[in-house]
Amino acid sequence: MFEIAIMTGAAENPVKPVIATANRYTAVDLAACLRIAAGEAKTDDNQCPGFVSTSAAEAMATCKDVGGKLSVAERPSLQSLDVNGDAQSEFLYDFTENFSCDGAALVFSCSSLGCPVLLFEKRDGAWNTIGSLSSYDSIRAEVLAPASGSTYGALRSGCGGARPCDELWYQRWDGSAYQSDTIEVRGHVVQFANEGFWTLLRDMPVLAEPTPYAAVIDPYPQGTEVIVIGTARDAAYKYVSPCRACKNGFIDPTALRKTL
């Protein structure tokens, strides 16, 4: 049965049926991946998909350079889904959920928007990266019905686990890879822009919605740096991330200046 997402804001994304949902994939032997990465075993996609062993080999070298030792998680953290309807699985992979650097854990730390979860597809016998999601939003990724003329559906993510569904991220297929497009936030659509760091020119509240009368998520003092994620479609407000542990929200753009 198709699922339909209903939003109540003034600016909405078109409603499309869900045709696939990401599921946990456990048929990976991380210890085997580590042996392959170290050159102690041959590549074997049945035990360890090539993109996992390749990333482990790169991380092993980085970890060793800082005096650490690469170790594996207790169980694999990998999701599979079919984004183009060809009955072949693509995979969502977050390196930091599967491996760590003992003795130098922070060498693989991530940004305030979370760790990247890469989407891999096997083409002509080789694994290729065709998209990237945030670890905060990839727990329950969904594939929506594709646009006319395309076999690749749009991606929607943002729900699952302990994270409430106050953000839904949409990615569109551009012919060769997925690109972040819009975010639905409490009934409002944000056009993704990734504008980098901006600085508050005065004390300002971060708001739950793009209106001066919205509920205040948190106040921040002049000089605070925030990451501008995008711009609301239905009002001239920037959607920002104030810090790694903070809730994202809206700020009047007149109170922001691009950080030099």
In this predicted model, which residue has the larger pLDDT, 164 or 110?
110
Residue 200: band (very low, low, confident or very high) from pLDDT cuts 50, 70, 90? very high
Q: Which two tokens stand for residue 77?
A: 């953290």
Q: How many residues does the chain have?
A: 260
Q: Is the pLDDT of residue 5 over 50?
A: no
Fold of 192-258: SH3 type barrels. (2.30.30)
pLDDT class of 8 with cuts at 50, 70, 90: very low
Q: Report residue 133's pLDDT band, with 50, 70 and 90 as the boundaries.
A: confident
Residue-level pLDDT at 2: 26
- Calculate the dihedral angle through the C-alpha atoms of 24, 19, 146, 228, rounding to the nearest 10 degrees: -50
Most confident of 36-40, 137-141, 166-170: 36-40
Q: Which two tokens stand for residue 176?
A: 């060769």
pLDDT of residue 15: 66
Residue 13's pLDDT is 61
Asked whether the predicted pLDDT for residue 9 surpasses 80, the reply is no
* Separation CA 170–CA 143 (nearest Å): 10
Q: What percent of the chain has pLDDT over 70?
A: 88
Distance CA 113, CA 133 (A): 10
Half-sphere exposure of 10 (CA within 13 A, CB side): 7
DSSP 105: G
Average pLDDT over residues 114-131: 90
Can you give 29-71 as a three-state secondary structure string?
CHHHHHHHHCCCCCCCCCCCCHHHHHHHHHHHHHHHHCCCEEE
Neighbouring-strand partners of residue 184: 168, 189
* CA nearest to 210, candidates 229, 191, 188, 192: 188
Confidence (pLDDT) at 113: 57
Higher pLDDT, 160 or 34: 34
Domain ranges of the chain: 18-185, 192-258
Q: Calculate mean pLDDT across residues 161-167.
A: 63
Residue 178 and residue 152: Cα distance in Å, rounded? 9
User: Span 143-160, mean pLDDT?
Assistant: 87
In our burial notation (b when 16+ CB lie closer than 10 A, e otherwise), range 17-35 reads ebbbebeebeebbbebbbb
* pTM score over 0.75: yes
pLDDT band at 126 (very low <50, low <70, confident <90, very high): very high
The Cα–Cα gap between 27 and 37 comes to 18
Name the average pLDDT for the chain: 87
